[in-house]
Amino acid sequence: MFKKSMFASACALALLASFGCSQEPKVEAVTLEMPEEASEMKVLETPEAVFDAERLLSAVQGRSDEDKVRDNARNPLQTLEFFKVAPGMSVAEALPGGGWYSKVLASYLGSEGHLHGINYNDDMWARFGFFSEDGIAAAIKRTSAFPGMVSEFNDKGPTSTGFTFNSAPEELAGTVDRVLFIRALHNLSRFETEAGTMTQALATTKMLLKDGGLVGVVQHQAPEVNDDKWADGSAGYLKKSAVIAAFNNAGFELLSESSIHENAKDVPTEDDIVWRLPPSYNGTADDPELKAAVDAIGESSRMTLLFIKAK
């Protein structure tokens, strides 16, 4: 098993990878087809827009083969359909990193849409304890650089802004249709006790959303029987019950959930961290036996939840 004592180096590599600073293992790209659910629900009415399965399929398939490598694990078609994201919407993406989902959204939302990137508060980077001053500066810089990144993805795409959870522009209050937390909650939870990071993030989310706006969550899922301290986010995993409780306390109601990202083979113990699994292989890559064991598991089991802003 991969011990939590190796968390710092593993987490550092995982965060750097999300910023596009390291290479993921080479995997053959998969050929995507429109999911059955999408084809059956080609036009799905949402509060202010219409889901367009063909346009979403085009946005996903229009990327490079390198960008498509993990589509079979991240399921962008099914995920964005479940979150009821539609062209022309205003969408806020938490922790966009190197822009894996941003590329899809930039094409799918179109020029009539808006895409906002929400980053950690500037003072949160030092809390990890392993970033150099230059690394912290680079992480902070990515917030203001988000609009430029989106324009590189699609120069005829949505208007875009970048801000942190404690610097959301007041003029955006009540204007956002969707906020997406795709594998973005664990560190907010990890520093909740010392800095109130989860509470602030959810308060900002509620402030940004229109009445009836939705929040989509994809998060590494901890077994409910495991210790609460282990499942505080420091190992990458959170309990579904804890996530639902946090959103309920922040003024949201669970609307629905999906099994899109569930993996029954991933049953972590309290000695495990999520980054032991592919594609990170932290602590397992150099041991053939351990690598074979985690390859047999695959990527993490993730909850997929949809919340609505309560009136």
Res 12: pLDDT: 52
pLDDT, average across residues 187-213: 97
Residue 213 pLDDT more than 60? yes
Domain 4-309 has CATH 3.40.50.150: yes
Res 311: pLDDT: 78
Residue 21 pLDDT more than 50? no
Residue 174 falls in which region: left (phi positive, over 0), alpha (psi -120 to 50) or beta: left
- The answer to whether the beta carbons of residues 105 and 85 sit under 8 Å apart is yes
Res 26: pLDDT: 37
d(CA 191, CA 194): 6
Beta strands (DSSP E) in the chain are 43-45, 50-52, 90-94, 114-119, 159-164, 176-182, 209-222, 238-239, 252-258, 302-309
Percent of the chain predicted with pLDDT > 70: 85
Residue 34 pLDDT more than 70? no
d(CA 107, CA 115): 11
What would the pLDDT profile of 217-258 be if each residue is shown by its tens digit? 999 999 999 999 999 999 999 999 999 999 999 999 999 999
Res 24: pLDDT: 37
- Give the helix ranges, DSSP H, for 70-120: 71-74, 76-82, 100-109
Give the range among 30-34, 68-72, 84-88, 182-186 with minimum mean pLDDT.
30-34
pLDDT, average across residues 161-169: 98
pLDDT-derived band of residue 67, with 50, 70 and 90 as boundaries?
very high
Look at the pTM and tell me if it is higher than 0.85: yes
pLDDT, average across residues 5-29: 45
**Angle, in degrees to the nearest 10, between helices 100-109 and 133-153:** 30
Res 48: pLDDT: 55
How confident is the prediction for the chain on average, in pLDDT? Answer: 89
pLDDT-derived band of residue 27, with 50, 70 and 90 as boundaries?
very low
pLDDT, average across residues 198-219: 98
More confidently predicted of 44 and 58: 58
Cα torsion angle, 174, 178, 180, 185, sign: positive
Largest CA distance in the chain: 54
Tokens 């399921």 belong to 75
CA distances from 69 to 1, 24, 61, 280, 303 (A): 27, 10, 11, 14, 21
d(CA 167, CA 92): 14
Which residues is 43 bridged to in the sheet? 52
Res 75: pLDDT: 97
Residue 36 pLDDT more than 80? no
pLDDT-derived band of residue 305, with 50, 70 and 90 as boundaries?
very high
Residue 123 pLDDT more than 60? yes
Residue 71 pLDDT more than 70? yes
Res 10: pLDDT: 52
pLDDT-derived band of residue 49, with 50, 70 and 90 as boundaries?
confident
d(CA 30, CA 17): 21
d(CA 260, CA 74): 9
- The answer to whether the beta carbons of residues 292 and 254 sit under 8 Å apart is no
